[in-house]
Structure 1
Amino acid sequence: MAGMFRRRAALPPFPPGGVLVGGAARDWLRGVAAKDFDWMVPDPAGAARGLADALGGAAFELDAARGYWRVNAPGGTQHDLVPRPADVAEDLRRRDFTVNALGVLPGGQVLDVVGGQADLRSRRLRMVSRGNLRADPLRAWRAARFELTLGFRLEPETEAAVREVAADLATGALPMPAWERVRDEMHALLRSMDAARGVDRLEALGLLALTVPELREGLGVTQGGFHHLDVFAHGVEALHQLLARFPDAPVALRWAALLHDVGKPRTLVRDPDSGRASFHGHDKVGAAITAQVLTRLKLPGDEVRHASALVGAHMVPLPATEREARRFVHRRRALLPDLLAVMLADREAARGPMSSDASRRAYARGIERVLAALEAQPSAPPPLLRGEEIMALLGLTPGPRVGEATRALAEAAALGEVGTPEEARAFLRAWAGPAR
């Protein structure tokens, strides 16, 4: 079993009296390079300053009341230092999982009070105790995340305990963790290349119902046509398809792929004779639901707006000509290229009876036209006329008509129909028509 572990990296310099704990200790034993180090030390302030000097980093106080310090070191590594408790072993016994309840002393001596090393070798995720899981219910989400990111498997008793925590959270017998903490666990899961399987695991453990219940509304909602999966499974598969093609996709884009059809269950209409499903307006309903979900999870406003806009635009037809491609780019520039990624993931996740190699190739050609137009014009052309000039030319006062004229002129410039102020004036005169 020891052969499963890779060669261990060199340990960083130990602060005086320091014990390396948590994920960094676990990863060092696995032969995985760590970026975040957690230390228990007698004097966090002094240890932080000494570590900063030794590593060429910067030390600062995180929490004056509790004596927490942090050091940001070159290469993106981070060291958090907290006061060393009188009984280190007892502190380790209060941790979430045995593989995280390990400590390392200078020279590589390992403190293992709950059998974490054996679980590491067996790739087993085992709780330290049922009480520890219930003391901080966020650990249920962490279990799913560690399963995914470490490649371990929950042992049966721990899985049962996680399900109990989820059930008690659902009934209010346990308090929900702060949404910011749930968000951070969700994002750690979504940033994995295997995020789609992680979403399925959250569903199996009863945690998805607590996090994104709106997504679960698609369970069992069959679609037909281009689709071979129900609405829920299609969203999960779209996330998988996105990451297979864009492994560095930002988290807002991952959310958009997962939630792109979240509006379908609420817009479902079935023909009483044929049973065929339709979902008219699901893009706009889905955009509103996406905004609600991500606002609840406390994402930054710009990410909420971007993901919601992607969901709202994912049904826009792709262009069939170069001119239409230039118009597509002009009207949706702020969403590109992310919108194309969502649309491609959506199409590749649909392999129903109406889907074919020919239809997918045609879709790919539409995307290529947009990409070519975006490459040819990566930013919008500068305005040819100021607002005051437009008002004077058309005899307008400030109001909606000025905005309409400005937008029409901007689109004409993006399409290459005008390129000089003189051409812009002629365009606007023709646009305004005889009414001028």
Structure 2
Amino acid sequence: MFRRPALPPFPVGGLLVGGAARDVLRGVTPRDFDWAVPDPRNAAQVLAAQRQGSAFRLDLQRGYWRVHLAEGEQHDFVPLPADVTADLLRRDFTVNAMALTGDGRLLDPAGGQRDLKARRLRMVSASNLPADPLRAWRAARFATTLNFTLELETERVARQVAQEVAAGTLPMPAWERVRDEMQALLAHQDAAPGVQRLEDLGLLALTLPELREGQGVGHGGFHHLDVYAHNLEALHQLLARTPDAPLPLRWATLLHDVGKPRTQARDPDTGRLTFHGHDKVGAAMTGAMLERLKLSSADTRHAAKLVAAHMVPLPATPQEARRFVHRRRDLLPDLLRLMLADREAARGPQSTPASRHAYALGLERVLEALEEQPERSPPPLLSGREIMALLHLPPGPRVGVAARQLAEAAALREVTTPDEARAYLLAWQSADTG
């Protein structure tokens, strides 16, 4: 059915196992190789020497080793089990419970090759999923990323695992492990259906309960979906236009309206629902959710800042576009991609071709301004000392405010020389204190 890709030489006495064997049988060259070998340390050091990689001990007690090679290729080496069949039968899904030998033989005690050909995700046994509750999340991830049908009994057991975790009869997996599953799911082109699959299995309530608060919350106007479905549709729209979108942008798009349910109110005069401040509330919620999932602080901050800024008005003139770029350069172009995905995910009564065209023009103005302005700000026209002397200011926050005002004026081409900068700051100070 599949043509096997070329593989690197097998380590002496080694087996290619798990997901790496599965991918080879699918005709896909793995990026991550998992080897079971008699001597993990020796196998890792030999490979590192042969291919100029770096080998290091991954787990001292269990004797696991890892090798990083060029272009992101990774090889993990674990001790060869005394009973290979028993080890494979302890794994999560049949398609991951296979191994290949160096002479091309397939070890398949659970019938994984049959399920692979049927594009079916089936658990090895009903006891293996609750043995490690994270495997329920892996069911959602593999069904999405492999585009496999989740076998009905496996789906039932995964849902039961979610219920038992929620009830406290099974432990919640470590957040770092849940994060890795979520990141792998979000990295896929079908991330939006994957999030819905988590919901169908009862896992979203354990992972991102705040996202579920939008279910059944309508917001009318430009929108045709409830808040929850709109968030998922925006992620779908983002990935349809930007398949290589970085993960923080994917998170921000999925969560961009997460603050709406907590800010909804009804205008006493018009009777319309309002969500004033949902961008700021949503940014705080996004930060808390991603911190809980143990994302890096840099990715968490970037995603939260994108959510906070996604409602900023688009510029109507080139000058406004230059100001937009100057004030939000650290968020561009991600912010524009989020804003476009948000708009394209809204097809309510107010979302007309004319409104979408006007929105597109605003985006184009920002893109043009982004191309005009250098990535790095030019050197300041006046130093901090010069600003203090000119405005008779002592060291303090006021000097920083003046410097930022001048930097923006320079970015907008309102001043281009030190003399113009001095005149600008004097006028600014007079107006500010007058």
TM interval, short-chain normalised = over 0.9
Tell me the equivalent position of 2:368.
Answer: 372
Report the Cα distance in structure 2 between the residues aligned to 1:173 and 1:63, rounded to whole angstroms. 29
Tell me the equivalent position of 1:134.
Answer: 130
Report the Cα distance in structure 1 between the residues aligned to 2:154 and 2:112, rounded to whole angstroms. 14
Cα deviation for residue 73 of structure 1 reads 2.9
Correspondence for 1:260 among 256, 262, 265? 256
Report the Cα distance in structure 1 between the residues aligned to 2:69 and 2:401, rounded to whole angstroms. 53
Tell me the equivalent position of 1:161.
Answer: 157
SS at match of 1:108: coil
Report the Cα distance in structure 2 between the residues aligned to 1:61 and 1:400, rounded to whole angstroms. 50
Report the Cα distance in structure 1 between the residues aligned to 2:228 and 2:307, rounded to whole angstroms. 15
Deviation by residue 1:274-331 (Cα, 9 ceiling, x = unmatched): 6521100100000000000000001111111111011001110000000110111111
Report the Cα distance in structure 1 between the residues aligned to 2:275 and 2:398, rounded to whole angstroms. 34
Correspondence for 1:293 among 268, 271, 289? 289
Q: Kindly report which structure 2 residues correspond to 1:198-237, keeping only aligned pairs within 5 A, or say none.
A: 198-237=194-233
Report the Cα distance in structure 1 between the residues aligned to 2:183 and 2:88, rounded to whole angstroms. 26
Report the Cα distance in structure 2 between the residues aligned to 1:7 and 1:225, rounded to whole angstroms. 52
Tell me if 1:318 matches 2:314. Answer: yes
Tell me the equivalent position of 2:428.
Answer: 431
Instruction: Structure 2: state its 5+ residue gaps.
Output: none
SS at match of 1:107: coil
Tell me the equivalent position of 1:382.
Answer: 379
Cα deviation for residue 395 of structure 1 reads 0.6
SS at match of 2:103: helix
Correspondence for 1:413 among 410, 415, 418? 410
Report the Cα distance in structure 1 between the residues aligned to 2:399 and 2:48, rounded to whole angstroms. 58
Tell me the equivalent position of 2:29.
Answer: 33
Cα deviation for residue 428 of structure 1 reads 0.9
CA shift in 2, pair 1:433/1:75, >3 Å = closer
Deviation by residue 1:390-420 (Cα, 9 ceiling, x = unmatched): 1111111122322221121111111101111
AA in 1 matched with 2:261: P
Deviation by residue 1:78-118 (Cα, 9 ceiling, x = unmatched): 11111111100000010000000001111210111111111
Tell me the equivalent position of 1:73.
Answer: 69
Correspondence for 1:401 among 395, 398, 403? 398
Deviation by residue 1:42-78 (Cα, 9 ceiling, x = unmatched): 1111222223344443322222221111222344321
AA in 2 matched with 1:407: R
Tell me if 1:118 matches 2:146. Answer: no
Cα deviation for residue 378 of structure 1 reads 2.9
Report the Cα distance in structure 1 between the residues aligned to 2:333 and 2:71, rounded to whole angstroms. 30
AA in 2 matched with 1:214: E
How many positions carry a matched residue from both structures? 432
| Mean CA deviation greater in 273-282 or 170-179 | 273-282
Identity of aligned residues (%): 70
Tell me if 1:97 matches 2:56. Answer: no
| Mean CA deviation greater in 401-410 or 53-62 | 53-62
Tell me the equivalent position of 2:3.
Answer: 7
Cα deviation for residue 17 of structure 1 reads 1.1
Report the Cα distance in structure 2 between the residues aligned to 1:336 and 1:411, rounded to whole angstroms. 17
| Mean CA deviation greater in 57-66 or 391-400 | 57-66
Tell me the TM-score normalised to structure 2 length: 0.97
Cα deviation for residue 35 of structure 1 reads 1.2
Report the Cα distance in structure 1 between the residues aligned to 2:269 and 2:162, rounded to whole angstroms. 41
